[in-house]
Structure 1
Amino acid sequence: MIYHIDYVSEGLHVKGYLGLPPQLPRSSAHEMSKAFNAIHGVSIIGTLACSLNKDTIREGFSGSTAPKLPLVLYCRGGIGRIGAVRLKWVEEFAAQGYAVFAPAYRGNEGGEGRDEFGGADTMDVISAIEWLSRISWIDNSRIHLLGFSRGAINAAVAAALSPHVSKMILWSGVSDLAQTYEERIDLRRMMKRVIGGTPTKFPERYLLRSPIHYAARIRCPVLIVHGTRDEQVLVEHSYRMLDKLQEQGHQPEAHLYEGLGHHFPPPQHAAAINRMFDWLKK
């Protein structure tokens, strides 16, 4: 089951999606959903049924009551309708036995405010971590971040600022937004409009949207996933992030997929998810 959530971030009503493992007994999922009523500023505004086939679902939750669930907070890529939350991903991650939350970011899907492409919208992730960490059935020792593409910015900022983050995955992630500006001519007009100008005019605004800037403040283990033929976010972004983390004394892991692009074909995508969750469960 996926719940469509309205929550408050810095006084703004923003949207997100919460997925629960399909292995859960329906009665347990119903009891879990009641916990939202006790959290100020958080409400369920709709539900969506899970559409996964049984082969995708990992076994678990054989008892009558579910244990505390680990959480993956999935930070979407893109901006606006481009790169919107992939509900199939929420389902696939939840099928691994995790609760999954995906912020849509402010200004998207009817949410208030304005998506700043890794600016103030990063607080939508941190705000979500704060209220999710107060839910009784979330395991506070296993709150993980996954940042895809531009979502790597939101994930890295949250990992640097929130004490609740246990592990972080950066999948096909941007590491230096000024580098992205140089590489993606097709995105320059949007970036100048949203950020206010070019990297030359506002270098600090681009720096504050670059995960490599936060490497020294990230305390959790990091996994980097990237296809070597990615044309939307070049794999060099991940190489730079790996180097920066290592300079800071981290021992990041990398799952690099030879010949794959920004989005993986279904068989490789499924295998990458299983491998990624095996890393989370170590």
Structure 2
Amino acid sequence: MKRTTQVLTSVVIILIFFSCKREEVNTFNSQITSQELLNKTEAFSSETVDLYKINYKSNGLNIEGFIAKPEQHNTNTKLPAIIFCRGGNKDFRAITENSYKYFNFLASQGYVVLASQLRGNKPSEGIDEFGGNDVNDILKLISIAKELNFVEAKNIHILGYSRGGMNAYQVSKLTDDINSIAVVGAPTNLFKGAKFRNEMYHKVMKPLIGDSIQFREEYIKRSSVFWHDKINEPILILHGSNDSKVVVDEAQQIIDSLIVSNKQDFKFKIFEGGNHGLSNYNQERNDLIFNWFKTHNK
């Protein structure tokens, strides 16, 4: 009886081992530690797009992310990718069920969409540095995208809203593995932003970066207007004149800098009365973004 129990226990352990191993193998590639299909849940239901919640490692931290891909991925066709850079900080504006619809929309246009929660919130480990080492979480997504067998590695684009736009500028400086960038309501000069929104400075910038005098260089690292000549990719800049979060002067400042430096491949539009995310110009905003990406596919 004892031997029978030992044999059964061994069988259970072996089954558990192979079950866990099989789950590991079934992730899209080795850089993804786990993935979960979210389709047909209360949070997300789509007949045309598969949405996965994933976990991956960045600087040894466990980071939550997402991959959305059209049904077309079931064929041998490889698709261009959009790396979506979220706005906000820590848990504020983290990716939630409300974001899934936008991922679905982006993917429905024929793109594989990858997004990161970034470090420093409930789903992910680490500390949010608001444009510090958290940029590595986005760079890791690009690395993952390049290895996915349903992504066309030569066609990877970056889309950033608000803080995500700031991160998109930073990514441009750090990698040549992307085709083009589109930003909406993006900060380009944190010194100007701190004066425009004093509350933002005291509640977000100062706690996450440090004060702007002692840590001046850290603010410069996050302010693309100071290193606009390092932005090598084609870039689309969209901003609203009534942006209450990031003053339109920040967009105008980077636009003027790119013009003076004779940047060859960039386009911009300031939307009269446009809000922070240009939700009052949804259609035009979306058309400009998709046309930009399509134009810069190889």
**Shorter-chain TM-score category?**
0.7 to 0.9
- Tell me the number of residue pairs that the alignment of Structure 1 and Structure 2 aligns: 241
Alpha-carbon separation, structure 2, partners of 1:115 and 1:87: 22
2:231 alignment partner AA: I
Counterpart-to-counterpart distance in 1, 2:143 and 2:225: 24
2:180 paired with 1:131: no
Q: 1:139 to 1:237 in 2, by over 3 A?
A: same
Q: Could you say which residue in structure 2 is the equivalent of 1:216?
A: 229
Give the C-alpha shift of residue 270 in structure 1. 3.1
Q: Please list every run of 5 or more consecutive structure 1 residues that lacks an aligned counterpart in the other structure.
A: 30-64
CA–CA separation in structure 2 for the residues paired with 1:225 and 1:117: 21
The Cα of 1:255 is off from its aligned counterpart by 2.6
> RMSD in angstroms over aligned alpha carbons?
1.6
Find runs of 4+ consecutive structure 1 residues off by over 3 angstroms: none
Residues 115 and 141 in structure 2, CA contact (< 8 A), matched pair in contact too: no
For 1:196, which of 200, 210, 224 is the aligned residue?
A: 210
TM-score, reference length from structure 1: 0.81
Residue deviations 1:161-180, cap 9 Å, x none?
11111000111100011111
- Alignment deviations for residues 40-89 of structure 1 (CA, whole Å, 9 cap, x no partner): xxxxxxxxxxxxxxxxxxxxxxxxx2521101101111112322232222
Q: Which residue of 2 aligns with 1:141?
A: 154
1:244 is displaced (CA, Å) by 1.9
Which of 204-213 and 167-176 deviates more? 204-213
How do 1:40-55 and structure 2 match up within 5 A? Answer: none
Q: Deviations over 1:243-263 (max 9, x none)?
A: 222233313201321111113
Sort the Cα spacing of 1:113 and 1:235 in 2 relative to 1 into closer, same or farther, 3 A. Answer: same
In the alignment, what sits opposite 1:276? Answer: 289
1:2/1:17 contact within 8 Å kept: yes
Q: Which residue of 1 aligns with 2:220?
A: 207
The answer for the alignment partner of 2:268 in structure 1 is 254
CA pair 109-132 structure 1, distance change in 2 beyond 3 A: farther
Shift of 1:113: 0.6
1:208-235 per-residue CA deviation (whole Å, 9 max, x = no partner) reads: 1112233212211000011111111111
Relative to its length, the structure with more helix (as a share) is 2
Calculate percent identity across the aligned residue pairs: 32
Q: Which of these residues, 179, 185, 188, is aligned with residue 175 of structure 1?
A: 188
State the alpha-carbon separation in 2 of the partners of residues 115 and 257 from structure 1: 31
1:165 is paired with a residue of what secondary structure?
A: coil
Distance 1:7-1:135 versus aligned 2 partners, 3 A rule: same
Q: What is aligned with 1:158?
A: 171
Matched residue, 1:113: 126
Q: 1:80 aligns with which of 56, 70, 90?
A: 90
Residues in 2 aligned to 1:191 and 1:242: alpha-carbon distance in whole angstroms:
24
State the structure with more CA Rg.
2
Matched, 1:18 2:67: yes
Q: Distance in 1 between matches of 2:248 and 2:168?
A: 18
Higher normalized contact order (CA 8 Å, seq sep 6+, divided by chain length): 1
CA contact (8 A) 1:227 1:260 kept: yes
Q: Note the alpha carbon deviations across 1:133-162, whole angstroms, 9 max, x for none.
A: 122221122110111111122111111111
Specify the code of the residue in structure 2 equivalent to 1:68: K
User: SS at the partner of 1:147?
Assistant: strand
SS of 1:182 mapped into structure 2: helix
The SS at the match of 1:200 is coil
